[in-house]
Structure 1
């Protein structure tokens, strides 16, 4: 069970991720909707350097065109990407072709009512994983909404996906075990459910999220 903590903005956040035992840290670069979680490429590069060797830095971006996204890669030297901007298959192909062999692409889709948007058949040749997230119908916000979605539909997507599936959307230490039991994803990802009131990562919440996720997975596979 891979655990990612998203929205890392400061050195204190980095240390919260390290202490939690998480496997990946999300750095938001390339803003479209209003959010306090986004940081400059230079900040992302500095924070990525602080992560320990077994924690993967992930650039999370809402930009869509390959040129802008690859510019972020160049400025940060981070080659694992999580795409939330609705990039077309052609743009994702360009990104895939330009990344080094060690680079990875996670493509985010949004579970809306009883559907996954967009359909991913044209994307599968170029992506390494799918992230299932929620969509705020009121604000148009994608990612970091604090809202869960239909986990039964997510479980169906996991069963039929040719690539690993990461579950996101409203996850926190209290519901992650239930979510894993229903969906059985490759990994889980949380942002808003792990924050302090000032927007920083809460060290205890990050630790509990990671521990509860890994414990739930171990109990499930050993049952």
Structure 2
């Protein structure tokens, strides 16, 4: 995909209707709603995910973050949560992307690639034809307790750039993004979107001041 100079912004780890609407007012194009995870911040109940998603106007992406690797579980989860996008944070082991497409028409699929080395490029190239977008993050699926997002760490952006250049779908960049490094992230990677969590939070809560600074840096 071509590089983007003005990426869309997804604010992740949304924990209330109030946070959702504060993020939208600031300029977010998408919201991340985190269901049960083996580790990391921002987990909320499926009932609260459904409540938040129901209040979000249609142009805004509502991303259900799932750690499930079973297509049937993912389908059931989306039907309970009623988001317009599913973000698959681990690798599918049971079922296929085609199964998800058939069961969830009109729902966008975003696959997370945890950028750990050269193998991540091969994984991204193999997955990209089957999904609507990739999200490049800094987790680690090989740990005893998997890290599937929200690490606050920056990964190797040179690999992310190569992924963005070689795949045919939009790419979101996640992992340790802050107002101080957003400009460099855009210059180095040129992603379609940026995914924010820890960099715009204070003591776990969305910090509208940090979020406004992020958008100020982005526009600059």
Q: Is 88-97 or 178-187 further displaced after alignment?
A: 88-97
Structure-2 residue corresponding to 1:149? 155
CA 1:211/1:55 → structure 2, altered by over 3 Å: closer, same or farther? Answer: farther
Structure-1 residue corresponding to 2:74? 69
Please report how far the alpha carbon of residue 110 of structure 1 lies from its aligned counterpart in structure 2 after TM superposition. Answer: 0.9
Q: Does 1:169 align with 2:172?
A: no
Q: Which runs of 5+ in 1 are unaligned?
A: 217-223
Please report how far the alpha carbon of residue 11 of structure 1 lies from its aligned counterpart in structure 2 after TM superposition. Answer: 2.4
Please report how far the alpha carbon of residue 62 of structure 1 lies from its aligned counterpart in structure 2 after TM superposition. Answer: 1.1
Q: Distance in 1 between matches of 2:93 and 2:84?
A: 19
Structure-1 residue corresponding to 2:211? 206
CA 1:13/1:72 → structure 2, altered by over 3 Å: closer, same or farther? Answer: same
Contact kept? 1:20, 1:208, Cα under 8 Å? no
Structure-2 residue corresponding to 1:105? 109
Query: Tell me, what secondary structure is at the counterpart of 1:119?
Result: helix
Please report how far the alpha carbon of residue 172 of structure 1 lies from its aligned counterpart in structure 2 after TM superposition. Answer: 1.4
Structure-2 residue corresponding to 1:221? none
Structure-1 residue corresponding to 2:4? none
Contact kept? 2:31, 2:62, Cα under 8 Å? yes
Matches within 5 A, 1:26-37: 26-29=32-35, 31-37=36-42
Q: Distance in 1 between matches of 2:43 and 2:186?
A: 28
Structure-2 residue corresponding to 1:91? 96
Q: Distance in 2 between matches of 1:115 and 1:211?
A: 35
Q: Distance in 2 between matches of 1:35 and 1:202?
A: 18
Q: Does 1:189 align with 2:195?
A: yes
Q: Distance in 1 between matches of 2:121 and 2:14?
A: 26
Contact kept? 2:15, 2:42, Cα under 8 Å? yes
Structure-1 residue corresponding to 2:8? 2
Q: Distance in 1 between matches of 2:82 and 2:34?
A: 14
Q: Is 85-94 or 161-170 further displaced after alignment?
A: 85-94
Q: How many aligned positions are there? A: 212
Q: Calculate the TM-score normalised by the size of structure 1.
A: 0.87
Q: Distance in 2 between matches of 1:89 and 1:170?
A: 31
CA 1:125/1:89 → structure 2, altered by over 3 Å: closer, same or farther? Answer: farther
Q: Distance in 1 between matches of 2:94 and 2:131?
A: 10
Q: Which runs of 5+ in 2 are unaligned?
A: 1-6
Q: Distance in 2 between matches of 1:204 and 1:62?
A: 31
